[in-house]
Amino acid sequence: AQSVTQPDIHITVSEGASLELRCNYSYGATPYLFWYVQSPGQGLQLLLKYFSGDTLVQGIKGFEAEFKRSQSSFNLRKPSVHWSDAAEYFCAVSSYNTDKLIFGTGTRLQVFP
Amino acid sequence: NAGVTQTPKFRVLKTGQSMTLLCAQDMNHEYMYWYRQDPGMGLRLIHYSVGEGTTAKGEVPDGYNVSRLKKQNFLLGLESAAPSQTSVYFCASSIKETQYFGPGTRLLVL
């Protein structure tokens, strides 16, 4: 079955610390992978996406993610977290032959000053 | 360029009442989607449309109906609201594989 797993429900980091949010997927076809961010009371904003090519992709707000096919993972990273990064982060997967996204259950990031 | 907009932002219904949520996009996207978001469950697809005049069921379609009479609009209807439909509803539109989301509608069914 196609699925996305975000094993961490809630992560807390100090401002200035590095961040890694985990995402694992199970998908039969070549995956297209996405990370979205949702600030409180807001909609989802696309951070970055991977379709093919270089497995390290850069996104907005200083985020990056690395696709590792052997581990079925697409982890999101940021070298230095800012208080404004506190939000919920969603990983999602689709493919070239589908018009639907499958979402993970999200990771809530809390940032302490 | 407003992107994806949703009306209303917040609504309270009584059990059994009906309502329609409106989604509008100004990006000329062919595909549009309705999701619901519940705590700990991520986003689940209710219905979607691959073009004007077409609709299809998603993962959790029961209790909802949709219509896409115009390319830019996608309506989600609740014919007889139930407390289990208390949720935040998001609309999205897409060109190819990338979806763009509206700000959401928070619905409370009492």
pLDDT digits (tens, 9 = 90+) for A1-33: 789 999 999 999 999 999 999 999 998 778 899
The C-alpha of B68 sits at a distance from chain A's nearest C-alpha, in angstroms, of: 17
For the stretch A80-86, contacts whose Cβ atoms lie closer than 8 Å and that sit 24 or more positions apart, written own/partner, are A80/A16, A80/A17, A80/A18, A81/A13, A81/A14, A81/A15, A81/A16, A81/A17, A81/A18, A81/A19, A81/A109, A81/A111, A82/A15, A82/A111, A83/A15, A83/A111, A83/A113, A85/A19, A85/A61, A85/A109, A85/A111, A86/A110, A86/A111
The pLDDT of residue A95 is: 78
The pLDDT of residue A100 is: 85
Per the prediction, chain B carries an average pLDDT of 94
Which stretches of chain B drop beneath a pLDDT of 70?
1
Nearest-by-Cβ selection for B98 from A9, A46, A90: A46
- Find the closest chain B residue to A88 by CA distance: B42
Within its chain, how far is the Cα of B47 from the centroid?
A: 8
The pLDDT of residue A83 is: 95
pLDDT level of residue A107 (50, 70, 90 thresholds): very high
Share of chain B above pLDDT 70, in %: 99
Nearest-by-Cβ selection for A44 from B50, B97, B101: B101
**pLDDT tens profile A39-92:** 988 889 999 999 988 999 999 999 999 999 999 999 999 999 999 999 999 999
The pLDDT of residue B1 is: 65
Q: Is B94's CB within 8 Å of A99's CB?
A: yes
**Residue of B95, B78, B94 lying closest to B86 (CA atoms):** B78
Selected residue of B101, B105, B106 to mutate for chain A interface (largest A Cβ count, 10 A)? B101
Chain A and chain B share a number of CB contacts under 8 A equal to 47
The pLDDT of residue B42 is: 87
* Average pLDDT value for residue range A92-113: 88
The pLDDT of residue A27 is: 84
